[in-house]
Amino acid sequence: MTSRESSAASASAEQASVEKHKRLKQLVEAALELPAGDRDSFLERECAGEPALRQQAQELLDVYSDVEVEPASEPEQIGPYRLITELGAGGMGVVYLAQREDGFSRTVAVKIMRRGMDTDFFLSRFQQEREILGALDHPGIVRIVDAGSTDDGRPYLVMDFVDGVRIDTFCETLPIRERVSLFTRVCAAVQHAHRNLIVHRDLKPGNILVAPDGQPKLLDFGIAKVLDQEDNESTNATIPIMTRQYASPEQVRGQRINTASDVYALGLILYELLAGTRAYELKDMPAGDAERFICETEPPEPSRKAPRAAAIHLRGDLDRIILMALRKEPERRYHSVEALSADLERYLQGRPVSAQNDTWAYRASKFVQRNRTAVAVGTMMTILLGGGIGSTLWQARIAGSEWARAEREATFAKSSEAEARRMEAKAEESARVAVSERERAEVERKRAEDKAAETERQRQKAESRFREVRSLANSLLFEFHALIRNLPGATEARRLVITKSLEHLQMLQRDAANDPGLQAEVAAAYEQLGQLQGAAGDAALGDIKGAFESQVKALGIRQVLAAAHTADAGMQRDLGASHLRMAELLLALKQQGGALESAQKAQSIYQALVRTSPRDVLSMLGLAASQQASGQAHESAGRLKNALQSYEAQTESRRRIEATSPDDLELQTQTAEARDLEARAIELEGRFSDAIHIVEANGVIYRKAVAANPHNIRARRNMIQNHRTLGSLAERTGDVSTARDNYRRAVDLQKDLVAEDPRNARMLEDLAALHSNLGATLIRFAQPAEGAKQYRLAIDIAAELAARDPQNSAIRAALAGAHLGHGQSLMEAQQAELAQKAYETAIQMFEPLAATAPRDVNIQMHRALAHIGIGRILRDRNDLKQAEKSLQHGANVLEKILPGSGDHRVLSNLGIAYNRLADVYRLQGNNGLAIATYSRTLPIAERLLKQDPLNAMAFTMRAESMSRSGMIQESNGDWTAALRSYQGAVEMDAKQSARDPRDVRAKENLAGSYFAVCEIRLRLLQHRSAFEACAAAILHWKQTPAKAELAIALARAGDIRFAQAAEEPDRAELKVEGCKLYRDAAAAGAMEMEPRIARCGQ
Amino acid sequence: MPADEHKDELTQMLHSWKDQDASQLDKLVPVLYQELRILASSHLRRERVDHTLQRTALVNEVFIRLMGQRVDWENRSHFFGVASRMMRRILVDYARKNQAEKRGGGAQRVDMDKLDALLEMTAESKHPLTLTIHQALEKLEGLDPRQAQLVELRFFGGHSIEEAADLMSISTSTAKREWKFVRAWLKNEILKEHDLS
């Protein structure tokens, strides 16, 4: 054939194959539409006379798979482990028995993630399981010994192999008591997980094996640890009906899951172990019915379902214990697994158990949990009532810093919990007694009224009045709570009681016109009532306005008394204290102006007192307290300078107080606490180094206090706060390692506190905040995954608290902030999709908060950050229009709160927002606008640096602006301008890096900036300077994990040497050096180095 | 500076991509790849860019830098087509090199049961099917260029089915159907080759 003929022939042959291919596709697709049986005959018909086609079509049909990914068998060897046999399959992975072959020869269980499940979502879960198991160190929890990934990138976990049987099988031959005893060991393991804030969520007999030595072991933390809401939903979607067998009502309803869900599961397991059958048999129920059943049907008593021999043991205590764990409402079960275990221990020791039968009162009343707090507050007040109302309240005011109050709350909450429980038990037995109590109190009240109508007031009568008021207040305000609480309409009754007390006090007040002592008592009673009305944390009782009104009345009386007895220092002090109390309430009502006024009134009173008696410590304390209150009022209104003045004045006063009793650690501590406020105000101004001095000095004192009193909560809280503040300040000045160390310490100390008092909301709040702080620092330490973990811990805690107390906006703000931080860490860890979800969650939470608090700098700023975070993700996704919108929104919010707030963080974040916005303009091609927007960071950075020349944020911001501007200038061909920009970036990055030699990110940034300078110099043919810059880049990249960049820099440096060698051929050493650099570059992993190395002739 | 010269050629190459001048591509691919890395290191360094998710953003950035203009719809899709093609060349070269260095050389053993999973993954230098798929693709290009492009975008470019559909201007359902068929076809080709060897 001629060439033309052959090419024509091949052209038509090509055409033929194309046609055939098309037909093949049509055939296969058509065949797939048919049922399998008809396919053969279909192909016969269609491919008549074309056996080759038929065969090909058949081949394709054989390999065709609809499933996205087919499950395939595992290779025999994974890392050093040889897989022997499959042990079982779970939700996310398959578990194999395996043996380690490399001389360590041990038998293990290897859990490998299934194929097709390596999406971000499941990978992070798997990673979580690894982290969880890694973090849990307990004989009752299976131990993780190794981890890794397979050749095709799927992660696996290696655990100790537990050669045991399922716990239900194991128990079949055990007597009841031993089953209970074994079960308490399971509880210990679960409790250990809870202490580490991990909820298992999938407890069932299949997940608990008993080893040959009798030690039960928990397995499969595959769906452990609750995250935020969306996780709840998706988990419910993937739990098959089988596992639903052990699901709690809240799990089934998709509600918040916490440790109580594990308690429920344990209850079901115990039921099964003791009664021999399940509490509910859900296997054949359709899905909807099963859920309803779980949520609504009460399980039968275990003793009724157990065989006769066992039933005898179960009736009574064990029945009650199990049923208590199985209560439908989480808050009505055992508070913790430990509580459950403790009750079981009591049963084993023959002691009375705490589980009670469900009574009508319990079922009807929804207030059991809330009432505890109310009772706690009430108890606190009445205990204070005991010794000299006026001065004690006032002492409370002096102690005034949040810590003292919290500590009191903590201590009293604890003791009153026990108290309350006893009260409940008593109240339960006698509903009728409650009624008669009320009647008795009514009679009491009436008698008091009659007495008040008498005209003759003698000293003795006055004294009996004192007693009367006290006992009345006692009974009205305290005993009633316990007794009426269990009745329906408890809130109403309580309100009634308070109203009655008010009425009674009003009458007393009228009659006390000539009796200053009684008047003082009445004023004190009003103050106390006000405390009760304003009780925080109890929405039913919380009535700030009412508290305010009571306080106004109290204040009125005190003013009258003080005016009439100007020489009586005690009365004057009481008036001062009353003003302070008022200031506190007004602050809570956000009326900073009024608060300031009251604080200043108090201040002038105390100042006058101190002037007349300079040794009067009580008045000095009062003065200090009022100065603090003024400071707080100023700070709340955003006037930092004035706040600082007040705080400094307070410190002065406290120093003088200290001087009266120089070795008094308590006084020193109070001074340190006062200085903490000062330091915080200075920090907000941006003067970090000054703040650090103060905080470090305070730390010395706090350490002494803890050493003297290691269990004292206040001392420990001060220490924790100290670490936290130091961490925060270190972060601001760029000393990332100090920050991390301090936060870690703070977290550890706080965890100790929480462990001792796990229900204490305040402590949990603080722990959540500390986790957030640590998370933020870890991001800067280039450990975003670790940071994300911390944020998740914070989210867990905050979410739990928010669920308990939905009205508390501070907690909701903390939760939103934790989601924000989580988003930031996910962003850094390259998980943009998860990050976006986290940001969106944060925004959703911030919007309502922001609407109600437009001047709250914290909330607005964090809200802005969430928008900015999303803007960045959108920018990366090239969704530029939306990115611009989000970023602009964020910037607007910040601009709005900027004036009037000297808060440096607002400035910093605004700078970041401008940088991001400029990025978007740049990507949209709007270079002019981009450069202009980048330059907007200059005045911001200058302002920040003026406050503190070490402000790390300022450096970062400017470095970014300049390097991006440089990019634009470079792409415009404006080399000189670009060089200037890049040099500016180098300067900023160098300052940043010098602060902390361990800051890896800073080094990377610096190296990158140097490299950019090198490239520009090259364009300008300034070889020597270019080489210097590249050498600097190499130097710094060598100290970071950035291998690829190092390789490029080495290659570039080699290029420069060769270019120089071309210009100066007589300098042979240039070529030699260039060759060495090329070889180094290749060794570091640079690609395509062969042609260059070829030039070296070796 | 060699890189500069290459850059102009690169631009030219991108502009004339429609002509599919493969020889130019071969010369400039290493340079472009280098450009990508440099860009990553010195300009986007504050946001580390080695995750596949960021690939498209990075490549976008390169495009802007080189073309100096706003990315609009047409250019984008044809640009990503180029990028996937480039990735393919780079990875194939790398895989070839790796093969040569391995003792014994020859095709890597592939577990046939894992084929489906492997086909769904994105090509990396260590992926056992890189070379095999490349060869199969060369055949496929002659039979159905659209299907070949789909494989290139997905396997070498790392795009999802939706993204690939978007870039090819076809509907997602069409893309999915095509993908199912072509995956079966690829499987078949691979199996046949292994049977014969």
Give the confidence band of A125 by pLDDT, cuts at 50, 70, 90. low
For residue A1050, pLDDT over 50 is answered with: yes
Cβ of B111 within 8 Å of Cβ of A75? The answer is yes
Closest alpha carbon to A112 in A84, A133, A93: A93
For residues A1095 and A165, give the distance between their C-alpha atoms in angstroms, rounded to a whole number.
69
Cβ of B117 within 8 Å of Cβ of A923? The answer is no
**Chain B touched by A66 (CB under 8 Å):** yes
What is the number of alpha carbons within 13 Å of residue A1090 lying toward its C-beta? 3
Nearest to B60 among A28, A69, A878 (CB): A878
pTM attached to this predicted model: 0.44
Task: Give contacts of A 898-937 with B, CB under 8 A.
Answer: 923-925
Cβ of B37 within 8 Å of Cβ of A1045? The answer is yes
* Interface test mutation site (partner B, options A27, A63, A1003, max chain B beta carbons within 10 A): A63
Closest alpha carbon to A52 in A15, A29, A30, A24: A24
Instruction: Write out the two tokens for A1026.
Output: 């270019």
For residue A370, pLDDT over 60 is answered with: no
Weakest-pLDDT range from A232-236, A632-636, A779-783, B176-180: A232-236
For residue A443, pLDDT over 60 is answered with: yes
Nearest to B41 among A17, A21, A1045 (CB): A1045
Residue A288 neighbours by CB distance under 10 Å: 8
Cβ of A60 within 8 Å of Cβ of B184? The answer is yes
For residue A945, pLDDT over 90 is answered with: no
Which chain A residue lies closest to B120 (C-alpha atoms)?
A: A69
H helical segments located in A757-805: 761-780, 784-804
- For tokens 């090198």, the residue is A1014
Q: A630 or A992: whose pLDDT is higher?
A: A630
Of A458-462, A494-498, A967-971, which has the strongest mean pLDDT? A967-971
CA angle, A671 then A673 then A679, to 5°:
100
Weakest-pLDDT range from A106-115, A612-621, A1043-1052: A106-115
For residue A876, the distance in angstroms to the closest alpha carbon of chain B comes to 6
Which pLDDT belongs to residue A300? 87
For residue A211, pLDDT over 60 is answered with: yes
Which pLDDT belongs to residue A32? 83
Nearest to A72 among B34, B113, B143 (CB): B113
Q: B74 or A129: whose pLDDT is higher?
A: A129
Residue A85's beta-bridge partner residues? Answer: A97
> Mutual orientation of helices A784-804 and A809-828 as an angle, nearest 10°?
160
User: Rounded mean pLDDT of A139-143?
Assistant: 86
* Interface test mutation site (partner A, options B42, B121, B126, max chain A beta carbons within 10 A): B42
For A589, phi then psi, to 5°, come to: -85, 5
For every residue of A7-47, which 3-state class applies, written as one string?
HHHHHHHHHHHHHHHHHHHHHHHHHHHCCHHHHHHHHHHHC
Give the confidence band of A658 by pLDDT, cuts at 50, 70, 90. confident
Which pLDDT belongs to residue A456? 37
For residue A1045, the distance in angstroms to the closest alpha carbon of chain B comes to 6
pLDDT tens-place string over residues A681-706: 888 877 888 899 999 999 999 999 99
Residues of chain A with pLDDT > 90, as a percent, come to 18
For residue A877, pLDDT over 90 is answered with: no
Which pLDDT belongs to residue A784? 83
Task: Give contacts of A 997-1056 with B, CB under 8 A.
Answer: 1004-1005, 1008, 1011-1012, 1015, 1018-1019, 1042, 1044-1045, 1048, 1055
For residue A37, pLDDT over 60 is answered with: yes
pLDDT tens-place string over residues B62-73: 544 444 333 333
For residues A986 and B85, give the distance between their C-alpha atoms in angstroms, rounded to a whole number.
37
Give Cα separations from A428 to A138, A360, A361, A947 (angstroms): 40, 10, 8, 63
Task: Give contacts of B 117-146 with A, CB under 8 A.
Answer: 117-118, 120-121, 142-144
For residues A1056 and A1062, give the distance between their C-alpha atoms in angstroms, rounded to a whole number.
10
Q: Which residues are within 8 A (CB) of A554 and not within 5 positions of it... i.e. 6 or more apart?
A: A523, A524, A526, A527, A530, A578, A581
Task: Give contacts of B 59-98 with A, CB under 8 A.
Answer: 60-61, 64-65, 68-71, 94
User: Rounded mean pLDDT of A729-745?
Assistant: 88
First to last CA, chain B: 47
First to last CA, chain A: 50
For residue A229, pLDDT over 60 is answered with: no
Cβ of A1008 within 8 Å of Cβ of B42? The answer is yes
ipTM above threshold 0.90: no
User: Rounded mean pLDDT of A476-498?
Assistant: 44
A538-541: which pairs have CB atoms within 8 A and are 24 or more residues apart?
A: A538/A370, A538/A373, A538/A374, A538/A377, A539/A370, A539/A807, A540/A367, A540/A370, A540/A374, A540/A491, A540/A494, A541/A374, A541/A377, A541/A494
Nearest to B68 among A876, A923, A971 (CB): A971
Q: A689 or A537: whose pLDDT is higher?
A: A689
For residue A374, pLDDT over 90 is answered with: no
Give the confidence band of A105 by pLDDT, cuts at 50, 70, 90. low
Ramachandran assignment for A106, one of left (phi > 0), alpha (psi -120 to 50 degrees), beta (any other): beta
For residues B197 and B194, give the distance between their C-alpha atoms in angstroms, rounded to a whole number.
5
Task: Give contacts of A 679-698 with B, CB under 8 A.
Answer: none
Give the confidence band of A1025 by pLDDT, cuts at 50, 70, 90. very high
For residue A264, pLDDT over 90 is answered with: yes
For residues A969 and A931, give the distance between their C-alpha atoms in angstroms, rounded to a whole number.
9
User: Rounded mean pLDDT of A941-966?
Assistant: 84
Cβ of B53 within 8 Å of Cβ of A1004? The answer is no
What is the number of alpha carbons within 13 Å of residue A194 lying toward its C-beta? 24
Give Cα separations from A681 to A584, A638, A958 (angstroms): 19, 10, 26
Weakest-pLDDT range from A564-573, A643-652, A1089-1098: A1089-1098
Q: Which residues are within 8 A (CB) of A358 and not within 5 positions of it... i.e. 6 or more apart?
A: A323, A327
Which chain B residue lies closest to A116 (C-alpha atoms)?
A: B117
For residues A448 and A454, give the distance between their C-alpha atoms in angstroms, rounded to a whole number.
10
Residues of B in contact with A72 (CB under 8 A): 111, 113-114, 116-117
Q: Which residues are within 8 A (CB) of A701 and not within 5 positions of it... i.e. 6 or more apart?
A: A665, A668, A669, A671, A672
User: Rounded mean pLDDT of A798-815?
Assistant: 82
pLDDT tens-place string over residues A320-340: 899 999 988 887 888 889 889
Q: A1022 or A434: whose pLDDT is higher?
A: A1022
**Chain B touched by A880 (CB under 8 Å):** no
Which pLDDT belongs to residue A395? 31
pLDDT tens-place string over residues A414-424: 444 555 555 55
CA angle, A497 then A499 then A503, to 5°:
115
Answer for the pair B85, B152: CB distance below 8 angstroms, yes or no.
yes
Mean pLDDT of chain A: 77
Q: Which residues are within 8 A (CB) of A465 and not within 5 positions of it... i.e. 6 or more apart?
A: A451, A508, A515, A518, A521
For A449, phi then psi, to 5°, come to: -60, -45
Which pLDDT belongs to residue A519? 76
For residue A215, pLDDT over 50 is answered with: yes
Cβ of B144 within 8 Å of Cβ of A17? The answer is no
Q: A701 or A496: whose pLDDT is higher?
A: A701
User: Rounded mean pLDDT of A555-580?
Assistant: 87
Residue A147's beta-bridge partner residues? Answer: A157
Residue A577 neighbours by CB distance under 10 Å: 28
Which pLDDT belongs to residue A1036? 92
Cβ of B45 within 8 Å of Cβ of A1044? The answer is no
Give the confidence band of B26 by pLDDT, cuts at 50, 70, 90. very low
For residue B6, the distance in angstroms to the closest alpha carbon of chain A comes to 14
Residue A218's beta-bridge partner residues? Answer: A141, A208
For residue A746, the distance in angstroms to the closest alpha carbon of chain B comes to 29
Residues of B in contact with A923 (CB under 8 A): 60-61, 64
Weakest-pLDDT range from A131-140, A172-181, A799-808, B128-137: A131-140
CA A754 to chain centre: 14
Instruction: Write out the two tokens for A94.
Output: 């398959």
User: Rounded mean pLDDT of B83-101?
Assistant: 64
* Interface test mutation site (partner A, options B28, B36, B45, B92, max chain A beta carbons within 10 A): B45
For residues A948 and A8, give the distance between their C-alpha atoms in angstroms, rounded to a whole number.
80
Cβ of B37 within 8 Å of Cβ of A1044? The answer is yes
Which DSSP symbol is given to A682?
A: H
Which strand ranges, in their side-by-side order, compose the sheet holding A77-78?
Answer: A77-78, A81-89, A93-100, A107-113, A155-160, A144-149
Nearest to B38 among A66, A963, A1048 (CB): A1048
Nearest to B143 among A21, A67, A1008 (CB): A21
Weakest-pLDDT range from A242-246, A436-440, A670-674, A875-879: A242-246
Q: Which residues are within 8 A (CB) of A1067 and not within 5 positions of it... i.e. 6 or more apart?
A: A1060, A1061
Of A355-369, A531-545, A866-880, which has the strongest mean pLDDT? A866-880
DSSP track, A222-260? TT-S--SHHHHHHHHHH--HHHHTT--HHHHTT----HH
pLDDT tens-place string over residues A970-984: 877 788 998 999 999
Nearest to B184 among A64, A1012, A1019 (CB): A64
Give the confidence band of A233 by pLDDT, cuts at 50, 70, 90. very low
User: Rounded mean pLDDT of A137-156?
Assistant: 79
Q: Max alpha carbon distance in chain B (Å)?
A: 51
For residue B104, the distance in angstroms to the closest alpha carbon of chain A comes to 20
Cβ of A1008 within 8 Å of Cβ of B120? The answer is no
Instruction: Write out the two tokens for A1033.
Output: 């880049």
Residue A234 neighbours by CB distance under 10 Å: 13
Weakest-pLDDT range from A134-138, A689-693, B79-83: B79-83
Task: Give contacts of B 16-55 with A, CB under 8 A.
Answer: 30, 33-34, 37-38, 40-43, 45-48, 50-51, 53-54
Cβ of B180 within 8 Å of Cβ of A66? The answer is yes
**Chain A touched by B195 (CB under 8 Å):** no
User: Rounded mean pLDDT of A277-296?
Assistant: 71
Closest alpha carbon to A263 in A327, A182, A205, A316: A327
Answer for the pair A805, A537: CB distance below 8 angstroms, yes or no.
yes
CA angle, A192 then A193 then A194, to 5°:
90
Answer for the pair A225, A199: CB distance below 8 angstroms, yes or no.
yes
In one-letter notation, the amino acid at residue A736 is V
Pairs across A and B, CB distance < 8 A? 118
What is the number of alpha carbons within 13 Å of residue A643 lying toward its C-beta? 24
Residue A148's beta-bridge partner residues? Answer: A156
Residue B90's beta-bridge partner residues? Answer: none
Residues of A in contact with B34 (CB under 8 A): 1048, 1087-1088
Which pLDDT belongs to residue A490? 44
